[in-house]
Amino acid sequence: MRGVTDGGADRRPDRPLWKVLVISLVAAAATIYLIASSMQGAVLYALTIPELVARGSAAIGQAVRVQGTLVGRSVVYDASRPLLAFELRDGGYTLRVEYMGARPEMFRDGAQVIVEGRLRPDSVFEAQAVLLKCPSRYESAGPADAAEAQRR
């Protein structure tokens, strides 16, 4: 259906407009550059505690992310600074961690904790971020747990 006011050039280009191509290429290139440049300084090696220990002195100063189980009785929290010190264990090894920030919730014995930061020369891990795994979604109960629940 044509309206009476339809007029003007009814040009339908056979090949896509070069301006559109150029803009698309520029946008794509800019995005790729953005991704690449954002990666610098944000790269973290994801290691377990045994792996971190195995690296020895090579691991000092490297930005890493480590996961471990919290040793409840090791938690010391000084709210005035604030400074949170605790220990994580995994695979028989223990890692001392210090975090200049607030104590997260559900920070109790047995919690799965992820820390991001660097290992100091004195073998204490200086954490920039401390995260906890969402507890109820993490455990997958088996019949063994249920049997234990029954005995209680």
Partner 1 sequence: MSGLALLLAAAAVGYVSYPLLRQCSERKPGAAPAEAEEVEVGGILYESEAEWALERLLGRACAGTPTATARTSRTDLEGQIEAWVASVRDERRRTRAGRRVLCQACGKPFRPGDHYCARCGQPHPAICVHCGARYRLGDRFCTQCGAAVPGGRER
Partner 2 sequence: MIAEAGRAALLLALAMATYGAAAAVLGMRWQRPGLLQSARRASLATFGLVSLAVVALAGLLLGRDYQVLYVYEHVSSSLSTLYAASALWAGPEGSLLVWLWLVSFCALFVGRSRWAWAREVQAYSLAAISLTQGFSALVLCTVSTPFILLPARAADGRGLNPLLENLAMVFHPPALLAGYAAYAVPFAYVVGALIGGRFDRQWLRSLRGWSLVAWAALGLGILIGARWAYLEPAWGGFWTWDPVENASLIPWLAGTALLHVVAAWERRGVFRMSAAALAIGTFLLCMLGTLIARADPVGGSLHSFAPSQAGYLVGGYLVVAALACTWLLLRRRRELRGAEAVEQALSREGAILVGNLLLVGLAVAILLGTLFPVFTQALWGVRITLGGAFFERVSRPLALAGLLLLGLAPLLSWRRTEAEVLRLVLVPVGAGLGTWLVLAGMRRFSAPAALAFAVIAFAAAGSVQELLRSVSAWQRLGSVAPWAVEAGHLRTNRRRYGMLVAHLGAAILAAGVAGHGLYSIEREVTLQRGESVTVGPYEVRFEALSSEILPAKERHVATVGVYAGGRRIATLRPEYNYHHSVRDYVAEVALRSTLRDDLYVAVTGIAEGASSATFRVRLHPLMLWLWVGGAAILPAAALAVWPAKHPSLRAAAAGGVRRR
* Count of CB atoms situated within 10 Å of the CB of 113: 20
Distance set, CA 27 to CA 18, 32, 54, 117 (Å): 14, 9, 44, 34
Judged by CB under 8 A, the residue of 2, 80, 92, 122 near partner 2 is 80
Please tell me whether residue 91 binds partner 2 under the rule CB under 8 A. no
Q: Distance of alpha carbon 108 from its chain centroid, rounded?
A: 20
**Closer by beta carbon to partner 2, 57 or else 140:** 140
15 token code pair: 């090949």
Q: Applying CB under 8 A, which of residues 2, 56, 58, 149 lies at the interface with partner 2?
A: 149
Binder of residue 92, out of partner 1, partner 2, none (CB less than 5 to 8 A by kind): none
Here the tokens at position 18 are 């070069």
x/- track of binding to partner 2 for residues 14-53 (CB under 8 A): --xx-xx--xx--xx--x--xx-xxx-xxxxxxx------
